[in-house]
């Protein structure tokens, strides 16, 4: 029977529930349990697909094409197992399902209410993953902070759910903050006490408290929190700031979080978790033998969360190459043909980021021209690849003002154009080309050599594509399609001949890089940048 772990947050947002959930899941997985994590987000959008990255950070895309919260990226990177739509549910989706049922007549004669109809729908979504038979443990992270109006139905659903399945089949971990007041020279437990009191008002007694802190919690503090919050002292877990998120599983192991969880759920925990490969990764991450400087050209550079998966992919690829990747964020809006050399000085490789709309597009194109002409390793992702096509069209093929129809609908040379099936779509949410698609790599290309195989599958999120009318012209001049979608002939990945590394991918490789499986395109791009740094 599947057991359920709920993770709630108190005191403030941004405590890192996602990382704590992923770290606990990692420990349980390393003990041989089959674990998954799901996240409930209490906002009304159906999914984060229509949110600006400034609002919400990156939108993470799953194999089955769900646009989801970036925490799902952490779950996959830590566990190395894919998530799906069922792993991320928003209030909007819960209400949409209930309202659809109401229209179908499922509640005929009844008033449809938050309790029981919304809470029932939340409980149904908690059960979906557990009932799949694929998991021993399902960790459910509740977004938001306890006490928020919008979190209430979730807390109530968890209360009911625990009562229904029994208290030894589920537990609640509450994540709180223990702030340090420097004027008093003390760690303060009161915010934790108050947030537990709030949970108690809603009928939930947390089993374990994970306390975020900048300073170690001594036994006295732990005992005090335990006494006032009605938990065992061993259930008060210190979560001290870590230098990397990948340290957190080991920090939680030191605090016996996994053992405490398994004891409370009455599950065996005889063997220690097998974390050999994780430790090996950490060893390489923390002991680099070289350093490489890579530029990330994008328009959301003020907010690193906007490029979360790209960042983490570089961490995985850096560790694999035993080198420290230093990323320099370059705002594409501030980059011009004139200052490109100065902006990219000292960089050993340049990545041009995904994006939407025309803001900053010319800067991306200027950056690509510079790295193409100066033999600097280049990696373009989605819009980054499309910009490489535009740049090559304008500056090599002489297609004056070539563009994507996203930026210029009337361009004379639409080298990037809207996909046929996208043209009739009017709605914005969930209507892009989303999720995993197969791609056939051409034998003998650099891309095929990098993957070490010709049949690959990668995830997508876009509306525009390479315009095949121009393919011959491009290939003759050296920018070749190294991978094609076998079903619809779309160009999925391109590479430039006679360049140390010049690859553009229409898909998003960053969504599939994990600690256990660093993505080969990132690993090779870092290796090429490293080789370039040694040449200088
Ligand atoms: N805006 C481009 C498109 O829709 C690229 C999208 C992206 O970079 N994810 O095709």
DSSP state letters, 322-341: TEEEEEEEEEGGG--TTTHH
Sign of CA pseudo-dihedral 187, 189, 191, 195: positive
For the record, the structure tokens of 170 come out as 């589920």
The secondary structure of 366-421 as a DSSP string is HHHHHHHHTT--EEEETHHHHHHHHHHHHHTS--TT-EETTT-TT-S-EEEEE-GG
d(CA 525, CA 520): 8
The secondary structure of 423-474 as a DSSP string is TT----TT-SEEEEEEEEEPTTSHHHHHHTSSEEEEEEEESEEE-GGGHHHH
- Compute the distance from residue 372 Cα to the ligand 1 centre, in Å: 21
The catalytic residue among 382, 391, 406, 465 is 382
- Compute the distance from residue 195 Cα to the ligand 1 centre, in Å: 42
d(CA 158, CA 448): 48
Q: What is the pLDDT of residue 373?
A: 97
- Among 66, 73, 57, 61, smallest CA distance to 19 is for 73
- pTM listed for this prediction: 0.95
Ligand 1 near 383 CB (within 6 A): yes
- Among 361, 261, 346, smallest CA distance to 295 is for 346
C-alpha atoms less than 13 angstroms from C-alpha of 451 in its C-beta half-sphere: 20
First to last CA, the chain: 59
Q: What is the pLDDT of residue 425?
A: 82
For β-strands 455-462 and 491-496, DSSP reports them as unpaired
Q: What is the pLDDT of residue 536?
A: 63
| SS3 call for 5 | strand
Ligand 1 near 463 CB (within 6 A): yes
Q: What is the pLDDT of residue 14?
A: 85
- Compute the distance from residue 355 Cα to the ligand 1 centre, in Å: 6
d(CA 214, CA 192): 15
Q: Whose CA is nearest to atom 5 of ligand 1?
A: 383
- Sequence-distant (≥ 6) Cβ neighbours of residue 100 within 8 angstroms: none
For the record, the structure tokens of 496 come out as 């430039």
Is residue 510 annotated as a catalytic residue, yes or no? yes
Q: What angle do CA 527, 533, 535 make, to 5 degrees?
A: 110
Ligand 1 near 49 CB (within 6 A): no
Contact 316, 283 (CB under 8 A): no
Is residue 495 annotated as a catalytic residue, yes or no? no
Is residue 334 annotated as a catalytic residue, yes or no? no
Q: Whose CA is nearest to atom 6 of ligand 1?
A: 462
Contact 491, 465 (CB under 8 A): yes
Phi/psi of residue 257, nearest 5 degrees: -60, -45
Sign of CA pseudo-dihedral 80, 489, 466, 429: negative
pLDDT (tens place) for every residue of the chain, 536 residues total: 999 999 999 988 889 999 999 999 999 999 999 999 999 999 999 999 888 888 888 999 999 999 999 999 999 999 999 999 999 999 999 999 999 999 999 999 899 999 999 999 999 999 999 999 999 999 999 999 999 999 999 999 999 999 999 999 999 999 999 999 999 999 999 999 999 999 999 999 999 999 999 999 999 999 999 999 999 999 999 999 999 999 999 999 999 999 999 999 999 988 899 999 999 999 999 999 999 999 999 999 888 899 999 999 999 999 999 999 999 999 999 999 999 999 999 999 999 999 999 999 999 999 999 999 999 999 999 999 999 999 999 999 999 999 999 999 999 999 999 888 888 888 888 788 999 999 999 999 999 999 999 999 999 999 999 999 999 999 999 999 999 999 999 999 999 999 999 999 999 999 999 999 999 999 999 999 999 999 86
């Amino acid at each position: 029977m599947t057991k359920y772990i709920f993770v709630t947050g108190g005191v403030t947002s941004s405590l890192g529930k996602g990382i704590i959930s992923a770290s606990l899941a990692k420990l349980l997985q390393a003990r041989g349990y089959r674990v998954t994590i799901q996240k409930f987000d209490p906002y009304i959008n159906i999914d984060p697909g229509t949110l600006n990255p400034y609002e919400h950070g990156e939108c993470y895309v799953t194999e089955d094409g769900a646009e989801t919260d970036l925490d799902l990226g952490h779950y996959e990177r830590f566990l190395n197992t894919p998530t799906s739509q069922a792993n991320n549910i928003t209030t909007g989706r819960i209400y949409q399902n209930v309202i659809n049922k109401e229209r179908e007549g499922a509640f005929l004669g009844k008033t449809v209410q938050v309790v029981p109809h919304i809470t029932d729908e939340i409980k149904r979504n908690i059960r979906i993953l557990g009932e799949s038979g694929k998991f021993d443990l399902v960790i459910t992270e509740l977004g938001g902070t306890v006490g928020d109006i919008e979190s209430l139905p979730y807390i109530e659903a968890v209360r009911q759910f625990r009562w229904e399945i029994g208290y030894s089949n589920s537990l609640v971990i509450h994540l709180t903050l223990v702030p340090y007041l420097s004027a008093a020279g003390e760690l303060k437990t009161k915010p934790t006490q108050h947030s537990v009191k709030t949970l108690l008002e809603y009928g939930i007694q947390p089993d374990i408290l994970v306390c975020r802190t900048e300073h170690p919690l001594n036994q006295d503090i732990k005992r005090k929190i335990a006494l006032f919050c009605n938990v065992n002292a061993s259930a008060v877990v210190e979560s001290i700031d870590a230098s990397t998120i990948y340290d957190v599983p080991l920090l939680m192991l030191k605090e016996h979080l996994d053992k405490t969880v398994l004891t409370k759920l009455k599950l065996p925990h005889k063997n220690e978790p097998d974390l050999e490969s994780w430790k090996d990764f950490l060893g390489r991450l923390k002991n680099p033998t070289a350093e490489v400087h890579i530029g990330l050209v994008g328009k959301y550079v003020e907010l690193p969360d906007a490029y979360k998966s790209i960042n983490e992919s570089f961490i995985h690829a850096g560790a694999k190459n035993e080198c420290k990747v230093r990323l320099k964020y370059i705002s594409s809006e501030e980059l011009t043909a004139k200052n490109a050399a100065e902006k990219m000085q000292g960089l050993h490789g340049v990545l041009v980021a995904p994006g939407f709309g025309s803001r900053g597009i010319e800067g991306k194109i200027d950056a690509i021209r510079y790295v193409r002409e100066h033999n600097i390793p280049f990696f373009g992702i989605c819009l980054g690849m499309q910009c490489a096509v535009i740049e090559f069209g304008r500056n090599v093929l002489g297609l004056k003002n070539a563009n994507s129809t996203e930026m210029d609908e009337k361009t004379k040379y639409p080298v990037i154009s809207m996909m046929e099936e996208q043209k009739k779509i009017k709605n914005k949410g969930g209507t892009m080309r989303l999720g995993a698609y197969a791609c056939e790599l051409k034998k003998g290309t650099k891309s095929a050599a990098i993957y070490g195989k010709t049949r690959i599958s990668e995830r997508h999120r876009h509306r525009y594509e390479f315009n095949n009318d121009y393919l011959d012209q491009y290939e003759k001049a050296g920018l070749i399609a190294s991978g094609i979608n076998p079903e619809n002939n779309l160009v999925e990945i391109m590479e430039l001949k006679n360049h140390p590394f010049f690859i553009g991918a229409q898909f998003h490789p960053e969504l599939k890089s994990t600690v256990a499986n660093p993505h080969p395109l990132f690993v090779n791009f870092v290796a090429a940048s490293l080789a370039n740094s040694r040449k200088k």
